[in-house]
Amino acid sequence: MLRQAPGNRADNADTAFDALDDDGDGRVSRAQYLASIRPYVTGDDSPMGDALY
């Protein structure tokens, strides 16, 4: 449901998790999550940035 809320497909959750888990330890740390989400929120092509700023 978390993946689908912003319009993502539910069937690619494993792929999304693997992209966040950059060290392959099977967990997504706070640092990993923030490093991946920051460009989405603040980047030049950010739909989130457009909504917030």
Can you give the pLDDT at residue 31? 93
Lookup: tokens for 44: 């030049």
28 contacts 17 by C-beta, under 8 angstroms: yes
Is the full-model pTM beyond 0.95? no
Name the amino acid, one letter, at 41: V
What per-residue confidence (pLDDT) applies to 48?
A: 66
- In this prediction, residue 3 carries a pLDDT of 67
Match 């999550």 to its residue by tokens: 33
Q: Specify the DSSP class assigned to residue 40.
A: H
- What pLDDT sits at residue 2? 65
- Block means of pLDDT (10 residues each) for the chain, 53 residues, are 72 85 94 84 69 62
